[in-house]
Each structure stands twice: as structure tokens, then as C-alpha cells.
Amino acid sequence: MSSTSTSRPVRFETWRLAALYIIAALAFTGLLFRLVTLQVVEGAAWTVRAVDNYTNEVSMPAPRGIIYDRNGYILARNLASYNIVITPANLPDDESDIQRIYRELSALIDVPVGGPVTDESLAQAKLFAACVPGPAIGQLVALQDTLAPYSPVKIKCNVTEDVARMAEENAVDWPGVTVEIEPIRDYPTGSLTSSLIGFLGPIPAALEEELRVQGFIPNRDKIGYSGVESSMQDLLAGRNGLRVVQIDVAGQELRNLEPPIPTLPGNNVYLTIDTRLQAVAEASLIQEMNFWNTYFGTIRISSGVVIAMNPKTGEILAMVSYPSYENNRFARIIPAYYYEQLSQDPRHPLLNNAISAEFPPGSVFKLSTATGAFNEGIADLNTIVDAPGQLELCEKFNPNDVCTELNTRPFVDHIYEKKPEGFGPISFQQCIAYSSNVCFYKLGGGYLDQIKQGGLGIERLREYARALGYDQESGIQLLGEATGLIPSPQWKRINTGENWSTGDTYIASVGQGYVLATPLQILMSGATVANNGKLMQPTVIRNITDGDGNPVEAWFNPQDFTVTTFQTEGAYQISPFTPNTKWDVTTTPIIKGYSCDGGYCSLNENDLKVITPEAIQAVRGGTRMAVTDPAFGTLYDVFNQFPIAVAGKTGTAEYCDDVARAANQCDFGKWPTHSWTLSYAPYEDPEIIVVAFAYHGGEGASVAAPIVERVIKAYFELKAIDIAQENPALGQ
Amino acid sequence: MIRGLSWRNFDFILLGAVILASSFGAAMIRSAVAGNEVLLPLVTRQIFFALLGVTVIFVVASIDYRYWLALYRPIYIAIMVLLVTLTGFGQTAFGAQRWFTVGILSLQPTEFAKIVAIIVLARYFDASQYRPRDLRWALGSILWASGIILMILLQPNLSNVLVLMVIMAVMLWVNGVQVKHVLITAAVGVVVVVALIVVSVIGIRVPFLQQYQQERIVNFVVPDPNDTYGNRYNVQQALIAIGAGGIFGEGYGYGSQTQLRFLKVRHTDFIFAASSEEFGAIGGGLIILTIAVIVWRCIRAAQKSRDIAGSMIGIGVATLIFFQASVNIGMNLNVLPVSGLPLPFISYGGSGLTALMLGIGLVESVAMRHKEMEF
């Protein structure tokens, strides 16, 4: 065969072969160039992506701190909630084994096994969020198998402990099926303390960036939304641990890439609250409300507040805002219907009305007027004020307004209906004890020439009210504090477009009109008087310990609402417990001086004065007389039999808010009234001060005072029990 | 027939390059399937086929290639029977019928069909070497190739259709096809390709093209920047693997993309990416260089061949290796769209490797029987 072939090598046209060589050379050079570009020029960037591919950060959740009351009673804790989960990669290889596991598991947890895995059934299952019942086991596992076979998928959430235990016992027979333990916040005292403790919720989108930097995982970790859970968030949360691991494409963890950062459990917070006293306070409030509502045959009193505090230390022993909400219902998710229902309730159960709601204080505000009048020398212990049943006063918007029939109207005393002639001539302390409106009209706004300096005047009244804690936030460690309002002539001109009138001063002197205060502010005003002029910082935090129980130092900054483990400007120490003095009015000059004549005052620059101890003592005497004076003492009926010396002040505050207006209750001269009572004991050396407030409660002495009486009584009984328990020998 | 045979002309450089490439391939497959128990036997199988292939090279080289050319009719009929049967009984993979399962071995006749096509075309160009280079001459070669092309198109296996068309085109080119015919065909080709791309991007189905093939074209021409885990995933992971390799690579068995299985089909289609990750630019460059040497030696054998048939075998095998390698590496480097063409000698595949070794054997046969100025 070969013999017939040509003997010379084949010669093709050279340029055609050359073209082939050139094409091949160009192609290979091009590929080489591209290879070098990728590996040498862009190498670093691609390496980052390769590292990114196999690097996975696993955040290990830190257990949230526990909240206790002052006696170590648990108010908030973490409970284990059990989820049945399946890790697809750990299921057996044999399909019939898998089906057997599904069938047995299905019988235990009542989730369907599911038919054949079809595209349609998977598309259906994809529509369900985790934990929502609906998809079958087969579909859930098939979905997870395509996404992340080494991560568990939740088959059923929140199963009972029994079911969880049975699933655990079957672990050997059910490879791939495990029980996942998820911490759930639990509040044993529920609605009793919810306005104080608050609740947890998911990390909102606005904070996501900031919290992610701190190691939080959105959609998993929760943060405090209100109450102590919110204000102590930074200390309660702890710090999540972090493991940087290498994973393969299926998500299986292979090894730690960096030394793991261990989790730091959250700190435990001890509150100043005594849960027993809190329960008494709430029960007393509800009992009194039910009594009056039954008496009137209608729901008249619908909400109320009770606060108990140690005036010497500022520790809040009980803080009830009724109605509140069941914070355990927010444990897993915040149910929309329940939240909606709460937020639309006109009684604002989601708010802590003890600090967030502003009400007219009524007669309890007379403590400010009395303190001011005494300190400014308008009245002394020997001053006798004539208090007829009603007073004809003329409303002057300008000093030169002439009093005529048109601008003169009667200002009545609360005793007017029972005793039209009024209290008659009474002393300064009787004015307080009897809560005589006429007396305080005169002391506050002057009357003819009967009152020195023409009365205290609104400017000076404002100074004294502020010194007792009104018109500003208290700085307590709770979110959403309202400031209240003590009006000034300037405020009125800005907000109503009218001049300040003499009538405004009269009604402000008795805590009506534009004056608004939170229940906590009223408690603070009473505490200042009770504690001889020393206003303590109200606090709900008693102590903070770390996960091992060692005390932690902590400071709270009320200006920017932060809690830190180091001292910052404007912050006060909250742990270990230190009583913080806000100010002592008898030593700290905070009262701006005014020169007043005929009811018109001008500010003296750089003239700051203190309140004399005598003034405080005179007002204290008045509050004691309210209990001891059998004639007209407002608290005589409630406290005269009380074994311990109690002193206090009642208040019946007229109001006309949206609710009252809607119910057509705002008839002129007969407005509905809130009921207030403020009492402290023992009188000589007070250790408990209680304020009670009943919305639309009516007379302070008959509605709020019995509540206060029960709380003070319970306080001393509990104290006796505690002493007996600490010293058993004394009980025998 | 062994008589007068001079092993002195046996191209040891070509053989060396082929053995280097297949050994490297087997080693890379071992690294790529490490940890996957199902795929682990592939390493032994590839080594077996490589050894078989080297034997085939020597056996085929020792036989004069003209015997094969003389037997072109039975060979052509045999491969056509195989291809027709395949369309009926073959295993379907990704919508295309491509292999027979015989015991544990799966046979891909397509790989052998390409060699057969080279033999048949070589015979045609040898027989028609004195005819004028008119359209009839060109159409004759197309006619011979069209039988095989049609069967492969019916599988459907577009990539290999393209391979065969390129081989035919190069042979026509070398044999002196008129430039005006080339230009007309090129113009038509460009129009068809552009039309295909436009139609695919718009989303109209084209007959003979599978949906996934059209999607691949679309994904290459207009990649969806948000589509990280969809169709572009494999190519993206290949780019990451190559880029992360750097100059010296991450080391054999230490490529994170390969070992942690982020890189898919890493023992076949994306073995170049796996190699470039573990051996870096040095390794990737050496693969390109080795392929280039093989291609060069094949063309060199064609140039020295004593007859047109031998030249065509050399050119055909060179084109086959060059085109498959460029398309595969181009796909790995994301300069060409995704196709199922393996990297010659390196990718896993018994039939492919054996068929290629057969081709190299033919080239060696040509090289050994060339007539140089030696008397």
C-alpha cells in the first residue's frame, strides 16, 4: 500500500497553515493572559470571595439576665421552650427508614408525614414561615435539604416537655431528629409588674445596624421594649459569643478558624420593688374600684395608680399602674390583635401611668403653695386666714383692670355644699389639714389687703413647685416619663394667646387649671416634705449582679437614658445601692428670688434661696393635722385609729379630658373629679410614703385614702413578718 | 506491516506531553473527588483508561494509518449504527442521550465518532486532492460529515456538532477552499450566531436547541448580576477558585473551593479551575502550555506527512484537541459560554480519554511513516 503513495512530504499553501498557527497562538495567549489577570492582578479580590465562601460566623446567644424583686423573688426569667427539629443531612440513607421516622414522629407531634415531594407541594410549603403549622414533615425536610442540609429545620415549635422528652428518648432510633431548646422570657408575676418590667420584642429595623455591630442577631435576639427590660437592656443582654468556623458547600462545620469568643451572660437586676406590697397595692386599688363601681352601678373608676416609696432612700417599693397588660403574651411574638387592642384602649394599659400620664393634681398640690407662702413670709404659724364658704374674686388680666360685676365670679370651697359659711377663720396648718380652697386662693393669689405681699403669685408658686419635683422628669430608670406642667404667664401667652389672669393664679394655687403632674411627681413632692426637705432620687433598681452573683457597679444617666458600668457626667449610681439625693431644699439654693407687690412679681437676678427647715416643718405639721384634727381633718376618718402616726394630704382634682367630654360629663361647675391621696408614716421619721390615684374616683378622702391606708398597713405588717423571720427569737 | 518501521520517528515529545497531561489529570481528579465516596472509584478508572490509552497509542502507531482509511466504510457504518442505537437506548443526562451503560462502564460513542469523522474526512480529502476546489468539492466533505453530525445533533449535543464542524472547516481551509466561499459562509455564520443570541435573549425557543442551552447563551451574554446562586453559580465559583489560586496555588489537596465542594463538576467540566486553584498560575499555565505542545506536535506531524490523508489526520486531531481545550478553558475563565466539552486528557472520562489516545496513536502512526530526507 505504501509503495503507491507519494514519496514527498505534502506541501500545503504556507499562509493557510500560518493562519492556523496564528489562530492557535492567539487563542492560547489570550487564555494565558486571562488566567494571569484573574490570578495575579485580581487574585486578592477573588481570595476574599473564596474566604467569604467558607467562612461562617456562628453567634452563640447569651442568656439574658434575670430580674428579681428586692427579696430575690423572680420577676423575669428565661424558660426553655422545646422545638422538634430535623437536620436533613443526619437522616438515614435508606428512604424507607426516613419514612418510618416521619411516621413515628408524626404520631407523636401530630404533624402530617406528607405525600410525595413534588414541585407543587414544595412551592406550597415555601409560603409558610417557620413555626407556622401547615407544611408536612416531608416537605419541610425536602426544602431544608436543598437550602442547608446541615442546619436543622423546625418541624414543630413549643412542644410540651413530655413530648420533648419522648423525642429525646427516641434519639437513637430517629437519627436526624433532635430537640432544640429555645429560651423564652417568662414573667411569673405577669400583669402585676408588666408596666414596670416591660417586655421584649424583635430588633427594629432602625436599630439593626447598630445592634449588629454589638453582636446581636436580628430575628433571633430580642431587646427590651419598655420598662426595666428596656432601660437595663445593656446590662441584661450580656454579650453573644462568636465562633468563626469553616464550612463546606453544604454548610457543615469543619473547624474553628479563629479562637471562639465565649458568651458573656447578662447581668441580673434586683429591683427595689417588694412584690408582696405590689400585690397588696394592686389588690387594694382593684377592690376600691370594684366597691365604688358596684356602689354606683356603673363602671365609673376604670384606672388608677398606686406608688409606694421609701422617702429616705428613694426606693420605689410598689408601682402599680392599672390596668396593665399580660407581658407573657408577648413572649414569642407580639400578637397584632392584642397589641392593637391595648394601644387603642383609652386607659393606655401599655403605658406606665405612674410616670407617663399627666393629671391635674388638685389639692395635693397645696403642699407647694403652703411651702412657698410660709417660706416667703406670707404666712406663719400664727397667721389666721378667714375662709368663708365662697369667695368673690375678680378676674384681672392686667393690673389696671377694674373689678366689675362682669369679671367677678365666685370661687367656692369644697365644704360649701355642706356648710355654706365655710371654715371661718383658720390657722395656716388648718388650711392644709382641712384642705381649704379659699385659704389657698388667698395665700396664692392674695385677697384685698388680707394677705401680705398680695399672695405668693404664680412666678414664685412655680419655683416652689419645681423645688418639690414638679414640672420636670424625675430621672427614674423607666422609659416614657412625662414632664407635667406648672404654667407661667409666658407659657399661657404662647400657648393660649391670653394674658395670665388673677383667676389663673387662684386655681393654680389649688392644683387646678393648667397645672398637670404625674403620680410620681406628686409622690416626690410629698417625699420632699416628709423627708424634711431632702428629695431623694426615685429608683427602681436596687442592685445588679453578674452571672456568678458578684455585685456589678453601674450608673444610670437620665439625660441620654443609658446605663453604664462606669461613671459618666450627670449619671447617678444604681448599683451597689446608694441613696442619691436629688437636692435638699433646705441647703441647696434653687429657689429663684422674686420681688412681689400686689400680686405682680419681678425676678431678682442671681438671687437663689433655700427653703427654711421651719417652713418644711410647718407644712409637715399641717399634713399631720389632717389626720389628727377631728373637726375637719381630711384624713381623720381613715387614719385616726391607725397605730402608727400617719400624715398626708388628699386631693380631689376636677378634670375634663377627651374621655369625660365624650361622655358629656363636663358640665360647668360640676366637672368629674380624680381622687388623690398622699400619705407617709411614721410621721416623726417617715420610711414609707404612698400615693394613690383613682381616675374619676371622686373625693380623695373616700376613694384614694382607703387604698393608701391598706398599703401602709400592709407595709408595716410585712416589715414585722420580715423582722420575725430574720430574728426568730423575737417572735417567741 | 511492522517491517521497515522506524521507531526513531515516533514522536516522543508528543507522547510525553500526552502522558504528562493524563497523569496530571488523574492526580487532579483524585484531589477533586476527595471525600466523596461515590466518586472515589473514578480515580482508579481514569488511571486504568490512561494506561489503556497509552497501550492504544503504541498499538495504533504501529499500524499504518492507511489500513484504517481503507476500512472507512465498515468503520463509518459501525459508528452510525452505534449512534442510531444510542438515540434509542442511551442514558439521558441533562436532556441529552450520550452514553451506553455496559456493566460498570459507560461508553460514549460520540467521542469515538469524532475520530471516525476525522478518518472519513481524511480519506475524502486524500481521494479528492486533484479535484478543483469548487463548491461540489466542498459539499462532498460536508456530505460525508453530515451523517455523523446529524446523529449527534439529534442527541442533542450541540458542542460536539460544533467540534465536528470546526474540524471540517479547518480541513477545508487547509486543503485550499476558496476564500470567497469562506467569506460567504463566515458571513452567514455570523448572522446565524447573532440571530441565535438575539432570539435567545428575547426568549424565543429555537428548534434543535435545548432550553438549558439557550439559557447558557443568555447567561453568558447578559449575566444577571443578582443571580449568584442560579445558573451563573458554577461559573462564578470557577472564577473564585481560579482567582484565589494566585501565582503558586493553594497546594495540592488544599484548594478551599475544590475541597469544600463550592466548585461544582470539578472533576470534569471545571477541572481547569480546580487545577488553577491548587497549582496557581504556574499550574494553569503549564496545562495551557502542554496542550499547546500537543497541538503543535500534531500539526507538525501533519506538515511532514507523506500524503494528504496523514496530514488531515494530524490537522483533524490537532483541531479537535485545540478546539475542545480552548472552549473548556475559555468556559472556566468565563470568556466563553458554558458547554459540556471536557478538557482533553485531563477531565475525567474514559471514552473521551481513550478516543483522544486513539487519535494521538493515529498521529504517531502518521509521524512514524513520514518521508524525510533520510536515505
State pLDDT tens for residues A191-250.
Answer: 999 999 999 999 999 999 999 998 898 888 899 999 999 999 999 999 999 999 998 887
Mean pLDDT of B12-24: 95
Nearest to B272 by CA among B255, B254, B287, B293: B287
CB atoms closer than 10 angstroms to residue A10? 21
Give A662-714 pLDDT, tens digit per residue.
888 888 778 999 999 999 999 999 999 999 999 999 988 999 999 999 999 99
Give A134-176 pLDDT, tens digit per residue.
889 999 999 888 888 888 888 998 899 899 999 888 888 888 8
Strand partners, A55: A246
Residue A190's φ and ψ, nearest 5 degrees, are: 50, -125
pLDDT at site A158: 86
Q: What is the dihedral of CA B220, B226, B229, B231, to 10 degrees?
A: -20
A280-539+580-723 classified as CATH 3.30.9.90: no
pLDDT band at B9; cut points 50, 70, 90: confident
Q: Please give, rounded to a whole number of angstroms, the shortest distance from the CA of A478 to a CA of chain B.
A: 46
B371: nearest CB among A9, A17, A46: A9
Domain residue limits, chain A: 81-184, 280-539+580-723
Strands lying side by side in the sheet with A673-681: A316-322, A304-309, A688-694, A673-681, A647-654
CB spacing of B170 vs A20 below 8 angstroms: yes
Query: ipTM score of the complex?
Result: 0.92
Residue of B nearest to A23 (CA): B322
Mean pLDDT of B309-336: 94
CB spacing of B261 vs A248 below 8 angstroms: yes
Q: Is the dihedral of CA A583, A585, A589, A592 positive or negative?
A: positive
Give B76-95 pLDDT, tens digit per residue.
999 999 888 877 665 555 55
A254 CB neighbours in chain B (<8 A) are 260
**Do A678 and A526 meet the contact criterion of CB atoms below 8 Å apart?**
yes
Round the average pLDDT of chain A to a whole number and report it. 90
Check CB contact of A6 with chain B, cutoff 8 Å.
yes
Check CB contact of A251 with chain B, cutoff 8 Å.
no
Cell 439559557 found at:
B215
Give the span between the Cα atoms of A79 and A331, in whole angstroms.
10
CB spacing of B176 vs A13 below 8 angstroms: yes
Give A567-581 pLDDT, tens digit per residue.
999 899 998 999 999
CB spacing of B284 vs A35 below 8 angstroms: yes
Round the average pLDDT of chain B to a whole number and report it. 87
CB spacing of A17 vs B299 below 8 angstroms: yes
Give the span between the Cα atoms of B288 and A25, in whole angstroms.
11
B322: nearest CB among A2, A24, A248: A24
Which of A1, A26, A28, A55 is the mutation pick for testing B, counting most B CBs within 10 A?
A28
**A589 exposure class (CB count in 10 Å sphere: 0-12, 13-18, 19+):** middle
Q: Write out the DSSP string of A95-134.
A: HHHHHHHHHHHHHHH-----S---HHHHHHHHTSPTT-S-
CB spacing of B326 vs A254 below 8 angstroms: no
Give B205-236 pLDDT, tens digit per residue.
777 677 777 777 777 777 766 555 555 788 88
A42 CB neighbours in chain B (<8 A) are 243
**Do A698 and A292 meet the contact criterion of CB atoms below 8 Å apart?**
yes
Q: What is the dihedral of CA A284, A289, A290, A295, to 10 degrees?
A: 130
Give A239-257 pLDDT, tens digit per residue.
999 999 998 887 788 889 9
- Greater confidence (A435 vs B38) lies with A435
**Do A1 and B70 meet the contact criterion of CB atoms below 8 Å apart?**
yes
Beta-strand relationship, A177-186 and A55-60:
unpaired
pLDDT band at A182; cut points 50, 70, 90: confident
**A1 exposure class (CB count in 10 Å sphere: 0-12, 13-18, 19+):** exposed
Give A579-622 pLDDT, tens digit per residue.
999 999 999 999 998 887 766 788 888 889 999 999 999 999 99
B174 CB neighbours in chain A (<8 A) are 12, 16-17, 20
Whether the model clears a pTM of 0.95, i.e. scores above it, the answer is no
- Angle between helix B350-368 and helix B109-127 axes, rounded to 10 deg: 30
CB spacing of A49 vs B244 below 8 angstroms: yes
CB spacing of A31 vs B335 below 8 angstroms: yes
Which of A29, A31, A247 is the mutation pick for testing B, counting most B CBs within 10 A?
A31
pLDDT at site B99: 61
CB spacing of B310 vs A10 below 8 angstroms: yes
**Do B114 and B162 meet the contact criterion of CB atoms below 8 Å apart?**
no
CB spacing of A40 vs B246 below 8 angstroms: yes
Give B324-343 pLDDT, tens digit per residue.
999 999 999 999 888 889 99
Is a pLDDT exceeding 50 seen at residue B18?
yes
In three-state form (DSSP H/G/I as H, E/B as E, the rest C), the secondary structure along chain B is: CCCCCCHHHCCHHHHHHHHHHHHHHHHHHHHHCCCCCCCCHHHHHHHHHHHHHHHHHHHHHHCCHHHHHHCHHHHHHHHHHHHHHHHHHCEEECCEEEEEEECCEEECHHHHHHHHHHHHHHHHHHHCCCCCCCHHHHHHHHHHHHHHHHHHHHCCCHHHHHHHHHHHHHHHHHCCCCHHHHHHHHHHHHHHHHHHHHHHHHCCCCCCCCHHHHHHHHHHHCCCCCCCCCCCHHHHHHHHHHHHHCCCCCCCCCCHHHHCCCCCCCCCCCHHHHHHHHHHHHHHHHHHHHHHHHHHHHHHHHHHCCCHHHHHHHHHHHHHHHHHHHHHHHHHCCCCCCCCCCCCCCCCCHHHHHHHHHHHHHHHHHHHCCCCCCC
CB spacing of B326 vs A40 below 8 angstroms: no
pLDDT at site B230: 54
Candidate from A36-50, A372-386, A516-530, B190-204 with smallest mean pLDDT = B190-204
Nearest to A691 by CA among A703, A702, A707: A707
Cell 453578674 found at:
A546
Give the span between the Cα atoms of B116 and B118, in whole angstroms.
5
Check CB contact of A254 with chain B, cutoff 8 Å.
yes
Give the span between the Cα atoms of A273 and B170, in whole angstroms.
93
Give B236-275 pLDDT, tens digit per residue.
899 999 999 999 999 999 999 999 988 988 898 999 999 9
A7: nearest CB among B170, B260, B371: B371
A51 CB neighbours in chain B (<8 A) are 244, 256
Check CB contact of A1 with chain B, cutoff 8 Å.
yes
**Do A393 and A447 meet the contact criterion of CB atoms below 8 Å apart?**
yes
Residues 81-140 of B with CB under 8 A from A: none
CB spacing of A9 vs B372 below 8 angstroms: yes
Mean pLDDT of B105-118: 87
Mean pLDDT of A505-530: 95
Share of chain A above pLDDT 70, in %: 98
B246 CB neighbours in chain A (<8 A) are 39-40, 43, 47
CB atoms closer than 10 angstroms to residue B346? 29
Give the span between the Cα atoms of A707 and A690, in whole angstroms.
9
CB spacing of A24 vs B295 below 8 angstroms: yes
Q: Please give, rounded to a whole number of angstroms, the shortest distance from the CA of B155 to a CA of chain A.
A: 27
Question: Which residues have CB under 8 Å from B332's CB, separation 6+?
Answer: B238, B242, B270, B272, B273, B276
Check CB contact of A39 with chain B, cutoff 8 Å.
yes
B237 CB neighbours in chain A (<8 A) are 53
Check CB contact of A31 with chain B, cutoff 8 Å.
yes
**Do B337 and B269 meet the contact criterion of CB atoms below 8 Å apart?**
no
Nearest to A69 by CA among A531, A718, A629, A732: A718
The angle formed by the CA atoms of residues B149, B155 and B156, to the nearest 5 degrees, is: 80
CB spacing of B291 vs A19 below 8 angstroms: no
